[in-house]
Amino acid sequence: MKINRIFMDRNLDSCREIDHILSRLDIAPEPVVSPRTVYDTINQCDDPVGASKSILYITKNKGAVVRPCPGTSHYTCCDYTILHTGTFCTMDCSYCILQAYFHPPVLQYFVGFDLLEHQLAQVFSRNKIFRIGTGEYTDSLIWEPVTLSPQFLVNTFARQCNSLLELKTKTVNVQSLLDLDHNGKTVLAWSVNTPAIIKSEEKDTAALQSRLETARRCEAKGYKLAFHFDPLVLYEGCETDYEQVIHDIFSHVRPDSIVWISMGSFRFMPSLKQIIEKRFASSTICYGEFIPGLDSKMRYFKPLRIRLYQRLIHLIKEYAPSVLVYFCMEDREVWEKSMGFFPDEKGELGHLLDRAAVSHCRLNPDLL
């Protein structure tokens, strides 16, 4: 983290969690009585999105801690559950939806392990499988070098039998997790892309080779893994480049270590285009062959998406015939033409993922 300023709610009491953050960052926090002070500070910057990546706001979560993934209308949802531990990110991907989602974007860390424990205890007491992740509104492991949160979550999930924790990242920040007794309940997941896209569109993220070498280190410590090809970006030669990414994945880790692989093509709210054009003048990512989708997001023409999906899925299945590959936000036609089937019934995709979680992560099979 390249933090140069910290705001903190005035009413927060000192605790081990806060003391750890401040000792790691070595910056005196500025107490605030209202988040408005933080918002105004960020909004006054020439580039609020860029500026907010170096301004940390330590606060408490005043909303839902555990919530279902909102998904998107008209596309198949995987019934994921979000654990809301913070917002925004210190990396700077051109396509990041968070640039347009938050007004203004604020890098927030939510303190309060007692609240997390209380909310998670209610989840752990239910007779169903949960797949829970912290990577919806932030990168799960940007926090690992400066907070105790990832360690706390791995240790907390290790003590129960109905929930899988997925920590999704573009970093290599796993050092404090390697020697934890995770009890098979945590999946470490990497968003992956081609070296060309990482170089041009994923500023301040780890190189692909570094991500995969880190995945191999985690596999050696007994962690199960996941990989997310999202967003797939179409450009000349991308098919060959993405196929090489698949070769690289399976040259680093074993197929039976992978719980699932997801795919999703680049899609964006129309309002994001202006942000990309302003903040990433050299990027051409939003000038492809796009058309409004059923959810009003701009998407590549369906035949283009399907052609790439078919090639990549075929190659993945050559390496790992039994690994679960699924789409993030695609419709029936894409599923049927790319996968050969469609999870038609409500909750069917979620059930497929639950079964994969149970088979890999020591969850109670009686809850399926």
Model pLDDT for residues 337-368, shown as the tens digit of each residue: 999 999 988 889 999 999 999 999 999 999 99
C-alpha separations of 269 from 275, 291, 295 in Å: 11, 11, 9
pLDDT at 76 over 90: no
User: What sign results for the dihedral spanned by CA atoms 142, 147, 149, 152?
Assistant: positive
What pLDDT score was predicted for residue 142? 98
Q: Are strands 81-83 and 66-68 parallel, antiparallel or unpaired?
A: antiparallel
The gap from C-alpha 183 to its chain's centroid, in whole angstroms, comes to 22
Q: What pLDDT, in 10s, does the model give residues 109-138?
A: 999 999 999 999 999 999 999 999 999 999
What pLDDT score was predicted for residue 254? 98
8 Å CB contact between 218 and 176: no
The full set of domains in the chain, from first to last, is 64-85+130-367 (3.80.30.30)
Two tokens, residue 16: 């081990």
Confidence of residue 104 (pLDDT cuts 50, 70, 90): confident
Q: What pLDDT, in 10s, does the model give residues 295-348?
A: 889 999 999 999 999 999 999 999 999 999 999 889 999 999 999 999 988 889
Confidence of residue 202 (pLDDT cuts 50, 70, 90): very high
Q: How far apart are CA 7 and CA 21, in angstroms?
A: 12
User: What sign results for the dihedral spanned by CA atoms 116, 118, 121, 123?
Assistant: negative
Instruction: Classify 361 in phi/psi space as left (phi over 0), alpha (psi -120 to 50) or beta.
Output: alpha
Q: Which amino acid is at 198?
A: I
Mean pLDDT of 166-177: 98
Mean pLDDT of 263-285: 95
Contacts 24+ apart (CB under 8 A), 237-245: 238/194, 238/308, 239/308, 239/311, 241/194, 241/195, 241/196, 242/194, 242/308, 242/311, 242/312, 243/311, 243/312, 243/315, 244/194, 245/192, 245/193, 245/194, 245/208
What pLDDT score was predicted for residue 75? 81
pLDDT at 188 over 90: yes
What pLDDT score was predicted for residue 344? 85
User: What sign results for the dihedral spanned by CA atoms 297, 298, 301, 307?
Assistant: negative
Q: Tell me how far apart the 2 most distant CA atoms of the chain are, in Å.
A: 57
145 upstream amide cis, omega within 30 of 0: no
- Mean of all residue pLDDT scores within the chain: 95
C-alpha separations of 101 from 7, 49, 97, 271, 340 in Å: 21, 11, 6, 10, 34
- Candidate from 41-55, 60-74, 141-155, 210-224 with smallest mean pLDDT: 60-74
What pLDDT score was predicted for residue 73? 65
Residue 261 host element (H or E): strand 258-265
Mean pLDDT of 213-238: 98
Q: Other C-beta atoms within 10 Å of 36: how many? A: 9
More confident residue, 143 or 102: 143
